[in-house]
Structure 1
Amino acid sequence: MKLRLAEYPFIVLLMAIAALAMLVPAIYAFTLGDFAGARAFFYSAILFTLLSILLAIATQHYRPASIARSQLIALLAAFSVLPLMLAVPFYEALGTVSFRDAWFEMVSSFTTTGATLFDNPRSLTRPLHLWRALVGWMGGLLIWVAAASILAPMNLGGFEVRATATAGQGANDFRQIARIADPSERLTRFAAKLVPLYTALTLLLWLGLTMLGEVPFVALSHAMSVMATSGISPVGGLFYSGAGVFGEMLIFVFMLFALSRLTFGRGLMGEDRKGVFYDPEFRLGMTLVVILPALLFLRHWIGATEASTGIGDVQSGLRALWGSIFTVMSFLTTTGFESASWLGAANWSGLPTPGLFLVGLSMIGGGVATTAGGVKLLRVYALYKHSERELERLVHPNSVGGAGADARRIRKQGAYIAWIFFMLFSMSIAAVMVLLSLTGVQFETAMVLAVAALSTTGPLADVGAEAPISYAGLTAFAKYVLAAAMVVGRLEALAIIALLNPEFWRR
């Protein structure tokens, strides 16, 4: 069965999966009595399933010159073109928005950004909320599988920091090694291992949130959004969640999977020498989660002391501390869920929490080969180790670095490529800001929207600026710019540049 699936182009398989997924909201809409919505999703499922079958018949046994290159192109098409198909049932079921807005919503969901044009969750029916969460969930699953099977062998997506080969040039050795290393076989092999794990974790979180008092539908939507780090919510976030603080604690545990690939993929990518607690990404992420909330709590405590407002209220202080811990973890993993206690910290001290702080966390992002976006913790770690080494050389010019070949590679070649990516990321932010400014968007708003799109943290628009930013108020051109930025942020600039490399096409 795995070998038969490998005979078809990757994009055709993704189309077939997306078409079959339309049956889920169709069935749910039918059970709710929303027959118009059920027909929209059911007819779309039939249409695109037949289209996928016809394309599969036409392209069966097609063998491209470079399978790895074709899969990378298919990955780019999946995040940019496939949302056109995903938007059809959304557009037909809603009937009150343009197809462009429906496409923007699906790009945002599939890239796990979670930016929405609907400020009021009641504007959408439950089946449409389910479709948004399901599309985001599938986008997160695609990243899990593609990172291990497509990006890792090509030294892209963050793997270039540890790799000895040049970024984008890892795929040219496939024909010279064992047959199991064929890109198509890698894709099916990793999918067979990661899909059940991803699904089981989602169901476990859904069950846990339901047992804690959350409405089953809302619990399922939040569970899928946490695993995909999309931040999509049918009720407008965790402030209206019925699971309370214990639900946030459970979600916090599952957000750990976005800090390091070793939390779920140990042994799958040849990185089983040490446990997750020795992984620099996980340790750096947990260090930020401990230190930054402590500094925030200290700031609020000083504010409460100066204002003499509730400093003796231990419960309010603990609630403020938990709100900081959860929100820092949420935006570091680019999930974007805001703790229900986050605003309580400001009320306790009388000091507002700076939105620029959350913008910086979203830029850092989570772990390599996870559903999180941003610059990624491994690149930040490489830059940190390089800076530390340079400072040591200033004090002791003849010092010996040590720590093994892997550590030396990270702080030298890894830091070099990490710095290049950081510059590309910064230039991308500047380019998006310039394009948004052409539509009349103000500087601060453009900066927050650019970071939100490129780091795939759509909810950042609500808390990153002085006042919440509405995506619905943007012009058509601004929506196109942000949609393109979401695709670039999800696939990363290095992968797109690798596609533009002439040498990559000659091989």
Structure 2
Amino acid sequence: MNLKMVLKGLGTLLLCEAIALLPSILVSSIYKDGAVMAFIYTLFLLIIAGLPLAKLKPKANSIYARDGFAIVAAGWIIISLFGALPYYFSGSILSFGDSLFEAVSGFTTTGATILDNVEVLPASILFWRSFTNWLGGMGVLVLTLAILPSVGAGTLQIMKAEVPGPNPGKIVPRISNTVRILYKIYLSITIIEIVLLLASGLPLYDSFIHAFGTTGTAGVSNKNLSIAAYDNVATEIIITIFMLACGVNFTLYYQVIKGNVMALLKDEEFRFYIGVVIGSIILISVNLYGNVYQSIGESLRHSSFQVASMITTTGYSSSNFDTWPLFSKMILLLLMFIGGSSGSTVGAIKSIRILLLLKSTKIEMKSIIHPKAVYSVRLGNKIIDEKTLSGVKNFFFAYILIFVVAVVVVSLDGFDFSTTLSAAAASLGNTGVGFGDVGPLGNYSNMSGLSKAVLSICMLMGRLEIYPILVLTMPSLWKK
């Protein structure tokens, strides 16, 4: 391992996190909420820790696969530790353990919270909470590469370790240009949503908070009742559209911008994603009509919002869906596992992996009927090689195994079945909101320290696609 290069990368990341504190300091100064010193203290600590590391001069600037995984895994842990300090220093959260849980939830775009009443918190703390979602959405290290591409050669290894979904690649020859293009698209979507939310009647501050929460697919709000607090149909429609938009592979938007409009419709993962969304909305709307809502319009309104929220692992709520019929809740639970497209800002398993597993299962069934025939799994016009399929199957097994372990640990707290199951699923899938005590009107505050620690690890594993965190435990990773 190129240890000096890893440390240099981590130092650069800490300096970028210091810069990321500046908007919150500005918000605190404007609102005079008394939290400004909490951010300034954190800023100085980040500079003190990050500057010496960033100035290291490695003998070689190359970043190989294990270096990239080490930078990403260690980086997300470190930024979460420092990201917890504003909550702790400001007194908004009295326990550092709870502050860390909130920070991990923010950067991993999970949106799970231990806060009972977010509306009493300083405006700058709520802004920081939401801004960490936005930073984590496209990837903190990807942003670092966009700002400081000189961090070293081979930075595609960092992108591979951090960007959700299998086989991320470059959309232009230079990786620094690729990440800049992705962030320009991400920023443009965010700005457009802020403008539209303003037009729908939301205040400027609220528009920023919810635009960050939507594009980062984290679902963080400055209202205890989430989006339901506004009871604004226009706002719900805008957020629904943008949640679904941020569940699409961002490289497809680049192709559309370059004039290849048909790229969206030709993409098999996109068609699968939209098909699951439409099918789920129809099924839940039929189930809700007459049972919860007395008009098909209300049923469509809330089912479409909640389906978009769950499949994109955003976690916003327009109503208390915990009171919906079991059939609707089971569909929402399944969506928490499926997730959106690879290369988007969502969590969970990802649509492309589910699609490939279904195709692989179909091929297996055909082989049973015709054992001498030779079949191959195709995605569009491309034949998927066995190595990729094996990676998908291994990931699925690891995902379910970690989910089961998390359920067993959380069950020690003695919560009901729906709370225990959904808390693990929501943390690993980066959805945040679940059912029961962690539903739209609940939070994670009553969970034990052990459960919070395990769920925090699940959040990191879910956001980083499991392996970067697991490889930290391998001794061979740290050998030269």
Q: Return the match for 1:114 from 102, 111, 123.
A: 111
Counterpart of 2:150 in structure 1 is none
Distance 1:299 1:280, change over 3 A: same
Identity of aligned residues (%): 25
For the residue of structure 2 that corresponds to 1:460, the secondary structure is coil
Q: What amino acid sits opposite 1:115 in the alignment?
A: A
Contact 2:130 2:209 in 1 (8 A): yes
The equivalent of 2:75 in structure 1 is: 78
The one-letter code of the counterpart of 2:71 is: A
Identify the residue that residue 446 of structure 1 maps to in structure 2: 420
Quote the residue 1:317 is aligned against: 296
CA distance in 2, matches of 1:437, 1:7: 38
1:408: how far off? 6.8
Residue 169 (structure 1) aligns with? none
Q: Are 1:416 and 2:390 matched, yes or no?
A: yes
Q: Residue 223 of structure 2 aligns to a residue in which SS? A: coil
Q: CA deviation at 1:86?
A: 1.1
Alignment counterpart, residue 99 of structure 1, candidates 74, 96, 99: 96
TM-score (norm 2): 0.84
The 5 Å alignment of 1:166-245 reads 186=175, 188-236=176-224, 237-241=226-230, 244-245=232-233
Determine the C-alpha separation between the residues in 2 that align with 1:436 and 1:403: 38
385-394 or 321-330, larger mean C-alpha shift:
385-394
Residue in structure 2 matching 1:258, options 247, 266, 269: 247
Aligned-pair CA distance for 1:500: 5.7
Query: In the TM superposition, what is the alpha-carbon distance from 1:473 to its structure 2 partner?
Result: 0.5
Residues 393-420 of structure 1: per-residue CA shift (max 9 Å, x gap): 5566676757869767438554433222
* Two-structure CA RMSD over aligned residues (Å): 3.6
Q: Distance in 2 between matches of 1:72 and 1:344?
A: 38
Q: Check whether the contact 1:382–1:414 (CA below 8 A) recurs between aligned residues.
A: no
Distance 2:383 2:137 in 1: 30
Give 1:479's aligned residue: 452
The Cα shift of 1:475 comes to 1.3
Deviations 1:348-407 (CA, angstroms, capped at 9, x unpaired): xxx566433222111111111221111110000001112233444556667675786976
Deviation sequence 1:229-266 (CA, Å, 0-9, x none): 11111113111137x22222222222223132334354
Q: Who is 1:47 aligned against?
A: 45
Give the 3 Å change call, closer, same or farther, for CA 464–410 of structure 1 in structure 2: farther
**Number of residue pairs the alignment of both structures matches:** 462
Provide the rounded CA distance (Å) in 2 between the counterparts of 1:157 and 1:352. 30
Q: Is the contact made by 1:259 and 1:333 (CA closer than 8 Å) also made in structure 2?
A: no
Q: Distance in 2 between matches of 1:504 and 1:7?
A: 12
**In structure 2, what is the equivalent of residue 167 of structure 1?**
none
CA distance in 1, matches of 2:16, 2:67: 19
Give 1:457 deviation, angstroms: 0.7
Q: For 1:155 and 1:383, how far apart are their aligned partners in 2? A: 22
Distance 1:383 1:482 in 2: 26
- Unpaired runs of 5+ residues, structure 2, are 146-154
**Distance in 1 between residues matched to 2:437 and 2:269, nearest whole Å:** 26
In the other structure, the counterpart of 1:24 is: 23
Q: Matches of 1:405 and 1:317 in 2, distance apart?
A: 36
Deviates more, 1:489-498 or 1:326-335: 489-498
Distance 1:410 1:494, change over 3 A: farther
Aligned to 2:461: 488
* 1:334 is aligned to 2:313: yes
**Aligned in 2, Cα 1:434/1:415: closer, same or farther, shift over 3 Å?**
same
**Structure 1 gap segments, 5+ residues each:** 1-5, 164-179, 311-315
Give the equivalent residue in structure 2 for 1:89.
86
In the other structure, the counterpart of 2:166 is: 159
In the alignment, structure 1 residue 379 sits paired with structure 2 residue 367: no
Query: 2:397 & 2:328 partners in 1: Cα distance?
Result: 25
1-structure distance, mates of 2:261, 2:478: 35
Match of 1:296 among 284, 290, 293: 284
C-alpha distance in 2, partners of 1:292/1:275? 24
* Amino acid aligned to 1:430: V
The one-character-per-residue Cα deviations of 1:422-476 (angstroms, maximum 9, x if unpaired) are 11111001111122223444443221111111001112256876x9553111111
Q: For 1:438, what is the secondary structure of its paired residue?
A: helix
CA distance in 2, matches of 1:155, 1:19: 20
Cα 1:290–1:377 change in 2 (3 A) is same
Judging changes above 3 Å, is the alpha-carbon distance between structure 1 residues 408 and 68 closer, same or farther for their aligned structure 2 residues? Answer: closer
- If each structure's helix is expressed as a fraction of its own residues, which one has the higher value? 1
Distance change (3 Å), C-alpha of 1:464 and 1:355: farther
Deviation at 1:119, TM superposition (A): 2.4
**Distance of aligned partners of 1:95 and 1:125 in 2 relative to their CA distance in 1, 3 Å threshold:** closer
Task: Name the CA shift for 1:238/1:263 in 2 (closer, same or farther; >3 Å).
Answer: farther
Shift of 1:97: 1.1
Cα separation, partners in 2 of 1:352 and 1:27, compared to 1, 3 Å: same
Q: TM-score, normalised on structure 1? A: 0.80
Partner of 2:126: 129
Which residue identity lines up with residue 54 of structure 2 in the other structure? A
Distance 2:11 2:121 in 1: 30
Distance across 1 between alignment mates of 2:83 and 2:116: 21
Matched-pair contact (CA < 8 Å) for 2:161–2:468: no
C-alpha distance in structure 2 between counterparts of 1:400 and 1:71, whole Å: 38
Report SS of the residue matched to 2:305: helix
Distance in 2 (CA, whole Å) between partners of 1:320 and 1:155 is: 37
Tell me, in whole angstroms, the C-alpha distance in 1 between the residues paired with 2:301 and 2:333.
19
Partners of 1:367 and 1:377 within 8 A in 2: yes
Aligned residues of 2:363 and 2:376 also touching (Cα < 8 A): no
Greater gyration radius: 1
Displacement after TM superposition at 1:110 (Å): 0.5
For 1:174, the equivalent position in structure 2 comes to: none
Deviations 1:284-340 (A, max 9, x none): 111011111111222234648xxxx84xxxxx3112112112211110010111235
Q: Which amino acid aligns with 2:229?
A: Y
Q: Does the C-alpha gap of structure 1 residues 263 and 201 become closer, same or farther in structure 2, counting only changes over 3 Å?
A: same
Asked whether the 8 Å contact 2:86–2:125 carries over to 1, the reply is: no
1:114–1:405 distance in 2 versus 1, CA, 3 Å: closer
Q: Compare 119-128 and 408-417 and name the one that shifted more.
A: 408-417
The one-letter code sitting in structure 2 at the alignment partner of 1:486 is M
Offset of residue 502 of structure 1: 7.3
The one-letter amino acid paired with 2:15 is A
Report the CA distance shift for 1:405/1:486 in structure 2 as closer, same or farther (over 3 A).
closer
SS of the equivalent of 2:384 reads helix
